[in-house]
Amino acid sequence: MQLVVGLGNPGRRYRHNRHNIGFRCLEALARELGFAFAEETPQYRLAGGDGRGGPVTLLEPLTYMNRSGDAVLAWARRSGFSVGQAAEEAGIEESSMVAPEVVPIVVCDDLNLPLGSIRIRARGRDGGQNGLASVIAAVGGEGVPRLRLGVGPLAETVPPEVWADYVLHDFDPSESEAAAELVQRGAAALSDLLILGPAAAASRHNRRIRVDIRVDEDLPDNG
C-alpha cells in the first residue's frame, strides 16, 4: 500500500489559494488514475484503487494545514496501518508487528521555491511548511518523501512577516496559467515518484525556475 497526502485547507474559501496546490495536484493524480474521492470522515477524505505499482490511497486532510498529521494518524487508526507514532496511538504493541507499515508521501506548496519549480526529496526538515511539519511530527521522523511545488514570486521577495497571508491568497490572474501547468507537471512527478522512488523521480522532474532576483540556494527548502 502507498499513501499519498496532499496538503491544503478544506472549504471553498481556500480552494484556489497558493497553500492549496497540494490538494489540486493530488486531485489531478486521482483523475489520471481514475480514482474518485468517495470516502469522507471529519478528519480526511480519500480516493484509492490500484495504481501502476499496486494499491494507492490518496488522502486530503480536512483538519486544516497546521494539523495535517492528525488526519494521517486518524487514517492509520481506522485502516490498521502503522505510520510511525500511529502504532502507539492505535494501541498496537510494537513487538507484535501486526500493523503493516506505510510511509506517507506528501505533496505541498513551497514558498521558498519560485512558481513553477518542483523539488522531490526522500527526507529532510519541514523548512517552515507547517503542514509538512505536522506530518513529520505524526510519523515521528524526517524520513517522509515529499514533492514540493513552488508558489513563490518570480521577481520579488516575500518578507517573513507576511508569509502566512501570502500563501492564503489566490494566485494572481497573470500566474493562473503557470499554476495550472505546475499542477499537471506535479501530478506527473507524483506518479513517477510512486513508481520509481524519490531518487529516480527527482532526477527526472526536479526543476527550479530562475528568477529576476538573486536566489540564495542555501535558503530553507521545506525539507
Residues paired with 109 in a beta bridge = 149
Grid cell in block for residue 120: 522531490
Residue 19: active-site member: yes
Dihedral angle computed from the Cα positions of residues 201, 205, 211 and 214, in that order, rounded to the nearest 10 degrees: 30
Residues paired with 124 in a beta bridge = none
Residues paired with 51 in a beta bridge = 54
Contacts of 107 by beta carbon, 8 Å cutoff, 6+ apart: 4, 5, 6, 7, 22, 25, 26, 146, 147, 148, 149, 186, 190
Which one is catalytic: 16, 19, 169, 205? Answer: 19
Kindly list the catalytic residues. 19
